[in-house]
Structure 1
Amino acid sequence: MTALKSGRITRRDPLQPRLLFDPMPGRIQPALALLIHKPPVGGSWGWEIKWDGYRLHVHIEANRVRILTRGGFDWTNRFPAIAEAARTFAPTSMILDGEAVVVDEEGRSDFSLLQKSLGASGRKIGNQPSPALLYAFDLLYLDGHDMRHVEYRTRRHLLEETLRGHEGAILLSEELDADPTHLLDHACRMGLEGIVGKRQDSFYRSGRTGDWIKLKCTQSDAFMVVGYEPSTASRAGFGALMLGALSDGELVYVGSVGTGFKERDAVQLRKTMDKIPWRHKQPPVPYSSKRKVVWVQPTLIAEIEYSAWTADEKLRHPSFKGLREFQDNADVCRLRGRRA
């Protein structure tokens, strides 16, 4: 029998392209949309509906799926429908950027329905699986290639091709070819939260860079719960939540919210506040009113919808939408120089 011999090793042709593969990042800080109050003039933008839910990155590999929150926590078990849909893409490896939502009967994303589906209450992690869907709007990694240094228009094209033909709980967030002024008006008339614009020639940059922008129909932000007003008329035992925002790194009082609570949720919220270890007569924010308030350690973050700010920097017509969980790493509202 003739012995097997390896072939002669030759040098690589320098004209032949070298195929490089990028390892999948363990976690990517998300790109965030900058709030603006009127559509930009000029530039090339892609426009989508603004979804009202939880921002997620879905990491899909041959042997596993990970669903990470904006804060980097693994919530794979909390979104089984999204995880199951993600597994159908294997062995393709990818990272999808999107928003987990629960939609109402009209097909609109509803943050309170999402919270209820998760069994969420403040810092407590719910145990029940959520039927939430993922609206995917960006592709950050694909089959060994980091896509963050690829223009958005190309990432978008690849995302559409990747999702084409797949069914389940991962859907494409459709890009809408329309004038943003008319699009925003239509979104508001439909009861949606607003629209998001993305610069077509931009790379994927973490943080609020201005490459992504958002226009809202109604204003909504996250605020710290710093206390509550007791009430004997309410079964929950409180009449309103006291809210705080950040100004130059310090918490300041921005008003109270007493509407938007469902009775059952309000009772659970009071139980959650009663479990907070620190309650004191001294407020954690500058406060001069004589109203009776039970002050609590600022650990809970509430999503509040409101119409505007008053002249003395208080929320106008606030309404409670739900508690955000600390794993979501929600941005507490910053006053950005509104105060003197």
Structure 2
Amino acid sequence: MSSRRPRSQPLLADDAPVRSRARKPRDPKQPQLPFDAMPERVEPCLAQLRPKPPGRDRYLYEVKLDGYRLAIHIEPKRIRILTRGGHDWTHRFPAIAAAAKELGVATAILDGEAVVHDAEGRTDFGALQQSLGGRGGKRSSSEAIFVAFDLLYFDGHDVRGMELASRRHLLESLLADAPEAIQFSEEIEGDGDAIFEAACVHGLEGIIAKDRDSAYRSGRLGDWYKIKCIQSESFMVVGYERSASARGGIGSLLLAAWSGHDLGYVGSVGTGFKERDAQELRGLLDKLATKKAPVAYEGRRKNVVWCQPTLVAEIEFRAWTHDGKLRHAAYKGLRDVQDNAAVYRIES
């Protein structure tokens, strides 16, 4: 029986796999350019949220991944794996670091995400967290793989100024014979609306649309867009409701988002966490307990335990209610501090 981990399933259109076209190998006659200093760290390019695909020909589409954003720095004498916040997590992904050493390039910076796939080939954020021992855990993940979608530095040259299509061409060539722990995020060709619909039918989180002519620009500047089938955002945990019948004694978590400079209550979540999650949460939240409510709250206070706004939870939800509360919310896991996940901000 094969021991290969499941890959993401191809999106279907009229029952035929939608795949990217074959690429030409890199031209060995490229002119030799002066070497550029290798950046210690690059602030990542971030995707803006859109309700639907942009629908213009200059965009390429990829499956939206549900993992930890990382950058792999391949240097002459070492490998560094940095989180979005700039923390060194090389020791937490030994299989990915070992695979990076085998890529056959002296220097490079790869942008991508560490993920764990479920039995259906979908990326599973909760499974990734558990492979690392949970929030604040000290375990190294042997199950995670790195899905690379951009190349920022290559063979002594800073390539961020090149257009995305050319950077991905170099990246695909670099990963042609890569070990299984590092994979290339393939482009999905076709109409954006059809690709998005297929992604949702197959239970994926959504798609990413990227301007194929764009340079790599750090920040959320509109070169990349994310279109989600199911909304998933990060919210601050500000307390919990006690329950004698619920596992771990937590009936639901109370959540908040930024509204200007203050936190505003956006509802609660009482599903999605297993017994181990609930026990871990109870231990963490009880250490952060406070008598003062961090947010304005008009619900019943009898069984509420307020907490200092420190923990950030990833929450999946279907929509917003008319009064600004989360609808059909489900807990996915706690974000790690080093992941530097942005707490959702309510637009005024």
TM-score (normalizing by structure 2):
0.89
5 Å-filtered alignment, 1:280-319, equals: 280-292=290-302, 293-319=304-330
Structure-2 separation of matches of 1:182 and 1:238: 41
Question: How well do the aligned residues superpose, as a CA RMSD in angstroms?
Answer: 1.3
Asked whether 1:101 is paired with 2:115, we answer yes
Alignment partner, residue 64 of structure 2: 50
Conserved? CA contact 2:237–2:311, under 8 Å: yes
Conserved? CA contact 1:60–1:89, under 8 Å: no
Q: Which piece of structure 1 moves more, 251-260 or 182-191?
A: 182-191
C-alpha change, 1:255 and 1:59, in structure 2 (3 Å) is same
Alignment partner, residue 146 of structure 1: 158
Conserved? CA contact 2:73–2:110, under 8 Å: yes
- Percentage identity across aligned positions? 57
Alignment partner, residue 226 of structure 2: 214
5 Å-filtered alignment, 1:213-252, equals: 213-252=225-264
Q: Which has the larger radius of gyration?
A: 1
Structure-2 separation of matches of 1:114 and 1:18: 41
Alpha-carbon shift at residue 92 of structure 1 (Å): 2.4
Q: Which amino acid counterpart does residue 216 of structure 1 have in structure 2?
A: K
5 Å-filtered alignment, 1:164-203, equals: 164-203=176-215
C-alpha change, 1:165 and 1:128, in structure 2 (3 Å) is closer
SS at 2:160's partner residue?
Answer: helix
SS at 1:177's partner residue?
Answer: coil
Structure-2 separation of matches of 1:151 and 1:191: 31
Alignment partner, residue 45 of structure 2: 31
SS at 2:296's partner residue?
Answer: coil
Structure-2 separation of matches of 1:291 and 1:189: 41
Structure-2 separation of matches of 1:259 and 1:137: 33
Conserved? CA contact 2:239–2:307, under 8 Å: yes
Structure-2 separation of matches of 1:155 and 1:128: 30
Alignment partner, residue 333 of structure 2: 322
Asked whether 1:265 is paired with 2:297, we answer no
SS at 1:104's partner residue?
Answer: coil
For each residue in 1:235-293, what CA deviation from the matched residue of structure 2 results, as whole angstroms up to 9, or x when unmatched? 311100000000112100000000001111111111121223xx222210111223331
Alignment partner, residue 74 of structure 1: 88
Structure-2 separation of matches of 1:101 and 1:91: 23
Alpha-carbon shift at residue 129 of structure 1 (Å): 3.1
Alpha-carbon shift at residue 43 of structure 1 (Å): 4.4
Greater than 6 Å deviation, 4+ residue runs: none
For each residue in 1:81-114, what CA deviation from the matched residue of structure 2 results, as whole angstroms up to 9, or x when unmatched? 1101001024421000001000011111001100
SS at 1:157's partner residue?
Answer: helix
Alignment partner, residue 124 of structure 2: 110
Structure-1 separation of matches of 2:32 and 2:178: 32
Structure-1 separation of matches of 2:176 and 2:183: 9
Alpha-carbon shift at residue 50 of structure 1 (Å): 0.3
Structure-2 separation of matches of 1:18 and 1:185: 44
Structure-2 separation of matches of 1:43 and 1:176: 13
For each residue in 1:182-230, what CA deviation from the matched residue of structure 2 results, as whole angstroms up to 9, or x when unmatched? 1111111111100001101101011111100011000000000000001
Alpha-carbon shift at residue 314 of structure 1 (Å): 0.2
Give the count of matched residue pairs: 317
Conserved? CA contact 2:91–2:140, under 8 Å: no
Q: Which piece of structure 1 moves more, 26-35 or 41-50?
A: 41-50
Asked whether 1:253 is paired with 2:273, we answer no
Conserved? CA contact 1:62–1:93, under 8 Å: yes
Q: Which amino acid counterpart does residue 68 of structure 1 have in structure 2?
A: L
Alignment partner, residue 86 of structure 1: 100
Alpha-carbon shift at residue 142 of structure 1 (Å): 0.3
Structure-2 separation of matches of 1:125 and 1:27: 24
Alpha-carbon shift at residue 311 of structure 1 (Å): 0.5
For each residue in 1:283-338, what CA deviation from the matched residue of structure 2 results, as whole angstroms up to 9, or x when unmatched? 1011122333110001100000000000000000000000010100001001112x
Structure 1 unmatched runs, 5+: 1-16
Q: Which amino acid counterpart does residue 284 of structure 1 have in structure 2?
A: P
Conserved? CA contact 1:45–1:198, under 8 Å: yes
Structure-2 separation of matches of 1:91 and 1:305: 39
Structure-2 separation of matches of 1:253 and 1:333: 12
TM-score (normalizing by structure 1):
0.91
Conserved? CA contact 2:67–2:128, under 8 Å: yes
Q: Which amino acid counterpart does residue 291 of structure 2 have in structure 1?
A: K
Conserved? CA contact 1:223–1:303, under 8 Å: yes
